[in-house]
Amino acid sequence: MHINNNAQANQIYQMQNIVPNTSEHASGITIQNKTTTKTDTVSISNAGFNARSNWQKIADEYDVKNISQNEIGSMVSSLADNKLISSTDGLYLMAPISMNQDPEVKYDLLASMRKRLASAIANGSSTEHIKNAESALNIIEQLQTLSN
């Protein structure tokens, strides 16, 4: 198993398979059984260990409520380089709000992503599109939460 983010690291646990200690037979004889424990071993990548600090560094660097399209491109590159988002998430995050958008003009990406999701739901977009829009919004919300 390869773990490369905080969510996965938080879900690591030890599995135990415990057999009852005793069993009684019809003859009245009690037999002592062994208790067995099985342990899974996982290795956590450096990216997994560093995921939280990488999220925090990116959140500190970018204001998702006041960001330009060029800055979004840099932010998405940082998230992707640190393996914190998928390529699909990156595409959804980088989609401009209009075709004529000036890449240097700053806007509220968080509000924009919320509007995009609401519009996708209201217009009956595909389940996959809505799921991807939700995922992109969750990323922006996480960055906003970490920047507070």
Residues 61-74: tens digit of each pLDDT: 999 999 999 999 99
Closest CA to 57 of 42, 44, 74: 74
d(Cα 25, Cα 31) in Å, to the nearest integer? 8
Sign of the Cα pseudo-torsion (77, 129, 133, 52, in order): negative
pLDDT at 138: 96
d(Cα 130, Cα 92) in Å, to the nearest integer? 11
14 pLDDT band, cuts 50/70/90, is very low
Residue whose pair of structure tokens reads 């609401």 in the numeric block: 118
Dump pLDDT digits (tens) for 20-62. 455 555 556 666 666 667 787 877 777 677 888 899 999 999 9
pLDDT at 33: 60
pLDDT at 32: 62
Q: Count of domains in the chain? A: 1
Q: What is the average pLDDT across 98-127?
A: 93
**Domain membership of residue 64 as a residue range:** 2-147
